[in-house]
């Protein structure tokens, strides 16, 4: 049974898809817990949503690269008697360049943010959802998790493929308990992501039809998890790309991915 005012936890909520999730869920009558590293951005978003929707927004900044971050975040929510009904695992970024060109601590931080943190958050929050008979878990994956991985940003596609399989298993294990899990797999989305990774100049050369807004991605993602879709790819072009590459022989698909990847990935040493 849907709570009168569901509580949503959104990671990486300071910008892009995370901030769009916060705005859409607040408009749907949710109270929010928002987290990211940039406290000032979170506070600005909280003020905006409180004024626009009279929603309660709890700001709990943290760095999910810290191995103790998830436990600390959940403890902070427990102290405030906050029970999470919607978990949006959105925090993420890319590490440009060749795999061996970056120091191991860089990769270790990435794996904690993209893999360990969303998995631990689901593990810690899922029992309460099952007990209450209601919950939604959205793992923001990527079209990259469905197609052959190009060179550069070596761990990104691999981490997104994990989130897709993780979401499928969660969906099968928990749907009978009123808990829906879904992997949301956008393609190119207008956000700060490519500015942070230093690939904006390359991305701007891609045709406009390849892009979706964060608002459109989020609207479709919310509808998908409510329907009980374990995996959802927003955008017809993205769904076509996924299907076309899956129908190709592996060698041809990998060759095509390698050629196209140079258009939008930094494959050089750093």
Which entry of 93, 134, 156, 209 is annotated as an active-site residue?
156
- Note the pLDDT of residue 204: 58
Query: pLDDT tens digits for the chain (270 residues)?
Result: 788 999 999 999 999 999 999 999 999 999 999 999 999 999 999 999 999 999 999 999 999 999 999 999 999 999 999 999 999 999 999 999 999 999 999 999 999 999 999 999 999 999 999 999 999 999 999 999 999 888 888 999 999 999 999 999 999 999 999 999 999 999 887 655 544 545 545 555 555 656 799 999 999 999 999 999 999 999 889 998 899 988 888 888 788 877 776 665 565 554
Q: What local confidence, expressed as pLDDT, does residue 270 receive? A: 47
Whole-number Å distance between alpha carbons of 15 and 41 = 8
Is 156 assigned a catalytic role? yes
Q: What are the CA-CA distances from residue 167 to residues 42, 56, 164, 173 (Å)?
A: 27, 28, 5, 10
pLDDT at residue 241, rounded to an integer: 86
Give Cα separations from 236 to 132, 240, 241, 246 (angstroms): 36, 6, 9, 15
How many whole angstroms from its chain centre is CA 230?
14
Domains of the chain, with CATH numbers? 7-261 (3.40.50.720)
**Six-digit token string for 82:** 């906050």
pLDDT of 265 reads: 58
The length of the chain in residues reads 270
């Amino acid at each position: 049974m849907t709570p009168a005012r569901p509580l949503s936890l959104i990671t990486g909520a300071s910008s892009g898809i995370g901030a769009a999730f916060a705005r859409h869920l607040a408009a749907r009558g949710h109270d929010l817990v928002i987290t990211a590293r940039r406290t000032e951005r979170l506070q600005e978003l909280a003020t905006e949503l409180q004024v626009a929707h009279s929603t309660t927004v709890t700001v709990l900044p943290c760095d999910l690269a810290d191995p103790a971050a998830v436990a600390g975040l959940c403890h902070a929510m427990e102290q405030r008697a906050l029970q999470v009904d919607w978990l949006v695992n959105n925090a993420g970024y890319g590490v440009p360049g060749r795999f061996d060109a970056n120091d191991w601590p860089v990769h270790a931080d990435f794996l904690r943010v993209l893999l360990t943190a969303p998995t631990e958050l689901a593990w810690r929050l899922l029992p309460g959802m099952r007990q209450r008979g209601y919950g939604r878990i959205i793992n923001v994956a990527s079209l990259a998790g469905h197609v052959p991985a190009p060179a550069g940003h070596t761990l990104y596609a691999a981490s997104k493929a994990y989130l897709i399989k993780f979401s499928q298993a969660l969906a099968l294990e928990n749907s009978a308990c009123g808990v829906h899990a879904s992997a949301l797999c956008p393609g190119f989305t207008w956000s700060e992501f490519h500015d942070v990774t230093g690939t904006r100049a390359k991305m701007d050369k891609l045709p406009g039809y390849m892009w979706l807004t964060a608002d459109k991605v989020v609207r479709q993602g919310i509808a998908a998890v409510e329907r009980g879709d374990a995996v959802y790819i927003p955008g017809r072009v993205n769904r076509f790309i996924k299907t076309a590459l899956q129908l190709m022989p592996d060698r041809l698909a990998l060759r095509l991915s390698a050629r196209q990847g140079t258009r939008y990935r930094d494959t050089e040493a750093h």
